Structures are given as C-alpha cells and as structure tokens.
Structure 1
C-alpha cells in the first residue's frame, strides 16, 4: 500500500501465493514508505487475525552477534558500526549507508537474501497452517524487485510528504536533512502508487485508514484464489510422485531382468 509521501512495505500473500515462491504463486503485498504509517496499517491486519510477516523483525535477528550477517557486516564496515557489547550500532550504520549509495548496496547485498529466506519459510509455515493469505511487510519491495514475481497483489500505504517528513523526524529524532536522506533513498511514493494494486492513504485520521484497510481485507477474504493455488500445488505434487513412481518402476524392471 502506498500513496505519496511514504511507503509502507506490507505484502499480502494469498496462500495461493505463499507457495508462489516455488510455483509462481500470486500474493498480496502491502508496501509502505518510510514513516507512512506502516505499524498502524499492519496492526489493523493483525486485528483481523491475518498473519503479518515483518521483514524488520528478521532484519534484527540476522545481525545478532555471531550470526553470518553480523560477521559480514563487521568485515565490510569495521568496528565503528558496533557497540562495545558487540551489538550492531544501527544509528552509526544508518549514517554511513544513507550518505553513501555504494555502502547501502553492500549492506543490502549482505542482509536481503537472508531476510528473504526467513520470510519464505514463514510463508510456508502459515500455508500449512491453513491460512488463506498472509501479509508481507517489506519496506523495499520495489527497490529490490526480488519478490515481485511471487506476489499476487501489492498494497501501498502512504501519506503526504509533509506528514511523512514530520513523522520521521519525530519518531527517530532525525534532523530534517537526515530524514530527507532516508526518504530520498527509496523510490518515490507516487511511482510506487502507480505500480500498486491498492493504495491506502494514511494522511488523515485513524478511522479513515481503518475503513480503507477493512475494504481491502474484505476483498481478499471473498476471493477463492487460494483454492486455485492449492489445487495447482496438489496437481504438481501428484504429477511429481507419478513421475517418481514410474522411474522407480522402470529402474526396478531393469535391475530384475
């Protein structure tokens, strides 16, 4: 979901979608611009008992001391981006990567594959639990483009630029320059909105945002796309096991001649 000013980064994966990671499924994905109201929108989905897979949660897990990403970041950026207890100093790292595009690419190359791998397994888990669809909260969906082929729908949550800037400065205690650096590091909200299937405008009141999200939830709950995907998956599995059985039979016949 997204409008102008902020990009959310949520993704709804129809569990005809979740499997898209292996079988080109279709999924719904909400996108949010930075400081666009991501948490507010995600919480509404959670209230509706819809699973939300947050990329930021995994981003924090993979950089814990001793993890592979932690070691790679230490090698690429040195001791300056770590605290005395070994924890990643996010503020120090943020100042580096938002001032240097090449440094940001290095960090993304280290972290994104690991985050995506964890999100994939989370999707599979919810799929086998029987959920109809899930939300993927991905801040840089369009910028990376990696998961786009696996998503059924994209929802962008946004707000006007002044509100976005104000929220970011108040939330993270950034100067106006620091806030603008982070906003400019992402694709423009207007372009994200053009590429999205749904847009949630989070510039106004919470009640108005809730109405927009509930309308989208109703749309997906009424959809039977997940049934189509499960049938597709079941068909693929049946074909796979039939081929395996045939090969086993042929090998058995050759060996018992």
Structure 2
C-alpha cells in the first residue's frame, strides 16, 4: 500500500482535526469510526443479543452511549465487542483502501486503535498525533462533558500514548495551541504532497 497513511492517537489528541486539515488541502480519507457506526447500526439486533441486553437498542439502533458505558467499565464486555466488530471493520476498511489505492494519490485512514492491534501492520505508514495524558483528559472532559473519572476510564482503556511513540513512523505533536498544531499538520501534509514522505 504505497499511498495509505494511518492516522492514530489516543482519545482527544487531535486525529479528527488533522483529518479536517487534510480535507481542506484536497486529500481524501477513510474513518474506521464511521465504518464502526455503520456496522453497529446494521448488526444492532445481533449485538443486543450478544450482550443479552435489549436496553442497548433505541428505535432499532444501538444506543452508543449505553454501549460505551458498558464496555469502558467491563473488560470482558470490551473484548466481546472487539471480537465481534474488528473483523467486520477490517474487511470493509480494506475494501475501501483498495479502491483509494487505485487513484495513485496519498490518502489518510483515521484509525484510533492502529497500535492496539496488528490488523493493519505493513499496510501503510503510521502517523501518531500526540498529546500527553493530562491534555487529552482535559480535552475529553470538555468535549464530551464527562466527569474526570469517566474520562480517565476511556483514556485508560487504550494503550498508553507514550508507548505508541516508538511504534509510529511519524509523530505530530499537539501540545500547545491549535495554531501551532495546524501549522505542523500543514507542513507535514505538504511534504507528503511533494513526495518527500
């Protein structure tokens, strides 16, 4: 995969902001989260049966907030959900990656759990958007209106971001202002445009 760049991070580090900047510069992208939402809706009844919990359904669709609360507080439920979702996400994502690869232009794949599993190793280059734990905690509490305890649960459900740094092909730091981060992203994406990366 010569044109695929996987964009990952921990929660509330700036992945989506990077993707928005890339879009504004004319790049295409895929989102594993969007694909996950499609799959959640398609398989909502199966998931409610899997967790033996009809309360997860609202008007025939999965209540993502209720599902999130369940999996972030129960490791077994999280594993069960991942085993159900990951193969389906991978299959659909790879189909879409192959289509974009045909265009012979670089594109981005927003994939939160890139470093947590080996499903996508050697399929492209990896970009880590980095913010430290305190920064992502603060941003997550503000963005999702969560208590500190709830936000910490979500952050700690993922691999520690410090461990992701040596695994990434490239790291873009989002540790000061939005303006600085945007400038770093533009500089990096322009290098990709020029074929320097």
1:145 paired residue among 105, 110, 118: 118
2:145 matched to which residue of 1?
Answer: 173
2:108 paired residue among 115, 129, 135: 135
> Considering only CA atoms, is the larger Rg found in Structure 1 or Structure 2?
1
1:190 matched to which residue of 2?
Answer: 162
In the alignment, structure 1 residue 93 sits paired with structure 2 residue 67: yes
SS in structure 2 at match of 1:141: coil
CA distance in 1, matches of 2:185, 2:196: 19
CA distance in 1, matches of 2:56, 2:78: 13
The TM-score with structure 2 as length reference comes to: 0.92
Asked if 2 retains the 8 angstrom alpha-carbon contact of 1:72 and 1:110, the reply is no
Rate the CA distance shift 1:126–1:16 in 2: closer, same or farther, 3 A: same
In the alignment, structure 1 residue 163 sits paired with structure 2 residue 144: no
Return 5+ residue gaps in structure 1 as ranges: 1-14, 18-26, 226-257
1:58 paired residue among 12, 35, 38: 35
Asked if 2 retains the 8 angstrom alpha-carbon contact of 1:34 and 1:164, the reply is yes
The TM-score with structure 1 as length reference comes to: 0.71
CA distance in 1, matches of 2:75, 2:128: 24
CA distance in 1, matches of 2:114, 2:85: 14
CA RMSD for the aligned pairs?
1.7
1:112 paired residue among 73, 86, 90: 86
